[in-house]
């Protein structure tokens, strides 16, 4: 019969092996979940500093209030309380270009610039060139609909990266874009936390194709929290009724 090689989980009648280690003896009670998630994705065990920074990203993205992802999870749970997986999935499916997807978009954007300028002499000059080249196109990670004067997650992520000696090229370019963009756009926009998370994850060497996955991993914890709060203090029915009881019938649009 065909065999299928994997460095991830494998079982025998007596043992479970994960990442080349004995799951019960060497992982459970020893390896934290954030560290394990990093290890699973890269198949290398992160250093303590990498684990700290990675887990800071997960914390930064876990929950951000009554966002559409949180609301849809609560409403789905209201509609199908027998399907927790459906409520979680509904929220995760809303992770796109406006919410959560910025993490991946920013990481990819920065990486594309760096791939053509691997060792720039001047990060600010490269950032200015990059912003000008974008023209009127949106730069992922710039601006926030609530934190107009600065996203509090951003300086903290930079601080942790600095403390752990993990400020890489993606964070350096992103910081430089934060300094350079007002010269081109004529206004100052904050570097948002989701974009900073993308720069951090890219600097940590995590696969660019999976950056949104890590944002979804973090948000899963937040959505579980939303559903737990919905059980204790339900608001989904009020949200539903506020729309349902305030509809107004109009003629079909001809446009």
**pTM exceeds cut of 0.85:** yes
**Which pairs from 180-189 meet CB under 8 Å and 24+ separation?**
180/124, 180/127, 180/128, 180/130, 180/131, 181/127, 181/131, 181/139, 181/142, 183/128, 183/131, 184/128, 184/131, 184/132, 185/131, 189/142, 189/143
What whole-number distance in Å separates Cα of residue 208 and Cα of residue 242? Answer: 40
**Structural domain range at position 135:** 62-240
Is residue 92 situated within a structural domain? yes
pLDDT score for 135: 84
The predicted structure's pLDDT at residue 150: 84
pLDDT at 118: 84
- What's the rounded Cα separation, in Å, for the pair 13 and 45? 27
Q: Tell me, what's the pLDDT at 143? A: 85
What pLDDT is attached to residue 172?
97
Show the low-confidence residues of the chain (pLDDT under 50).
Answer: none
Q: Is residue 57 part of a domain?
A: no
C-alpha–C-alpha distance, residues 182 and 170, integer Å: 19
Evaluate whether residue 32 is within a structural domain.
Answer: no
- Give me the number of domains the chain comprises: 1
249 part of a folded domain = no
Q: Is residue 55 part of a domain?
A: no
Q: Domain with 211 in it: what CATH number?
A: 1.10.230.10
Question: Residue 146: inside a domain, yes or no?
Answer: yes
In sequence order, the 6+-apart residues with CB closer than 8 A to the CB of 227 are 73, 74, 77, 84, 87, 88
């Amino acid at each position: 019969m065909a065999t299928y090689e994997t460095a991830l989980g494998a079982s025998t009648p007596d043992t479970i092996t994960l990442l080349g280690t004995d799951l019960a003896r060497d992982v459970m009670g020893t390896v934290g979940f954030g560290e394990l998630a990093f290890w699973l994705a890269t198949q290398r065990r992160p250093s303590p500093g990498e684990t700290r920074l990675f887990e800071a990203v997960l914390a930064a993205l876990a929950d951000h209030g009554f966002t559409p992802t949180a609301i849809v999870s609560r409403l789905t749970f209201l509609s199908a309380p027998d399907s927790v997986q459906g409520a979680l999935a509904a929220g995760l499916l809303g992770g796109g270009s406006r919410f959560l997807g910025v993490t991946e978009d920013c990481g990819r954007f920065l990486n594309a610039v760096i791939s053509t300028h691997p060792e720039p002499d001047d990060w600010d000059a490269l950032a200015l060139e990059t912003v000008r080249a974008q023209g009127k196109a949106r730069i992922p990670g710039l601006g926030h609909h609530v934190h107009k004067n600065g996203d509090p997650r951003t300086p903290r992520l930079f601080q942790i990266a600095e403390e752990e000696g993990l400020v890489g090229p993606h964070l350096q370019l992103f910081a430089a874009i934060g300094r350079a963009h007002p010269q081109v756009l004529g206004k100052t926009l904050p570097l948002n936390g989701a974009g900073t998370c993308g720069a951090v994850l890219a600097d940590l060497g995590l696969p660019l194709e999976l950056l949104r996955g890590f944002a979804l991993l973090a948000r899963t914890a937040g959505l579980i929290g939303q559903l737990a709060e919905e059980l204790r203090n339900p608001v989904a029915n009020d949200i539903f009724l506020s729309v349902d009881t305030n509809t107004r019938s109009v003629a079909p649009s001809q446009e």
